[in-house]
Amino acid sequence: MSDRANTLITETLKRIHQVIVEHDVTYEEYQAAKQWFIDVGEAGEWPLFGDVYIEHAVEEQAFGNREGSRGTILGPFHLPDAPMLQAPFELPHRSDETGDRTQVSGRVTDADGKPLADANLDIWQADAEGRYSGFMPGPPEGNLRGQVRTDADGRYEFTTVIPGPYTIPLDGPTGKMTAAADWSPWRPAHIHLIVGADGYEPLVTQLFIATSDYLDDDVASAVKPELIVHPKATGDGEMAFTYDFALTPARTPAVA
């Protein structure tokens, strides 16, 4: 492991040194960067920064060429142990939750299309104003977080609301860096899922709402065309879309 650490640390520092030489980085810029590292830590934004600006490359490297459904980044706002929902499978929400009500349904199969019964879908999302419960003021604890299981035919369904786009906090160091670089701080509206089944590789993914702004300019570089969904009006005042997930065998056998 120390060979590996040596290689990665050496190569990372070498690239930073190259930028300093190629762009004639000054002492003022070095001190500003150092203060920014301190600020990110003090603001507790390292998870945010990492998942916005680095995770997509790791995900693509790890899973970019796998069979089955596309994955994308996990991000910093997953919480373990969301409640298992019972019929009619509605994500917990406020009585006055805003956003279009939407029915989501589909199947979980293996890569050959064989239905997977009792597969688990762990679902979390922002509210219509782009706020995640447990991390931002507004939504109560556990809002818009839950898990559902597939039936004997591999089918799942749940009801939620269409989330709003998310912006990274503009007043924190990650937002200030983003503004300094003149980049957009927004993520398009998305629903997070981890789809898992015994013996299969967990699929960490997101579904992106086709009508959202910022699909072509996600600050976290996590949109893939296969993950865009098109909610349609059902006629009874709600929206609906379907999405099927295909899982691949676990890469490493479970350790007992």
> What is the binding site for Fe ion (CB under 5 A)?
75
Q: Least Å distance between CB 219 and ligand MBD?
A: 8
Query: What is the secondary structure of the chain as a DSSP string?
Result: -HHHHHHHHHHHHHHHHHHHHHTT--HHHHHHHHHHHHHHHHTT-HHHHHHHHTHHHHHHHHHTT-SSSPP----S---S-PPBP-TT-B----TT--S-EEEEEEEEEETT--B-TT-EEEEEE--TTS--TTTSSSSPTTTTEEEEE--TTSEEEEEEEPPPPEE--TTSHHHHHHHHTT---EE--EEEEEEE-TTB--EEEEEEETT-TTTT--TT----GGGEE--EE-SSS-EEEE--EEE-B-SSPPP-
CA atoms of 12 and 126, how far apart (whole Å): 34
Q: Which does 73 bind (CB under 5 to 8 A by kind): ligand MBD, Fe ion, none?
A: ligand MBD
Contact residue for ligand MBD among 93, 107, 131, 187 (CB under 6 A): 187
Q: Least Å distance between CB 207 and ligand MBD?
A: 12
Between 189 and 197, name the residue whose CB sits nearer to ligand MBD.
189
Between 77 and 89, name the residue whose CB sits nearer to ligand MBD.
77
| 131 contacts ligand MBD (rule: CB under 6 A) | no
Between 147 and 206, name the residue whose CB sits nearer to ligand MBD.
206
Contact residue for ligand MBD among 68, 71, 75, 175 (CB under 6 A): 75
Q: Least Å distance between CB 62 and Fe ion?
A: 19
192-231 binders of ligand MBD (CB under 6 A) = 220, 222
Between 116 and 243, name the residue whose CB sits nearer to ligand MBD.
243
| 52 contacts ligand MBD (rule: CB under 6 A) | yes
157-176 binders of ligand MBD (CB under 6 A) = 166
| 77 contacts ligand MBD (rule: CB under 6 A) | yes
Give the binding site for ligand MBD (CB under 6 A): 48, 51-52, 73, 75-77, 166, 187, 220, 222
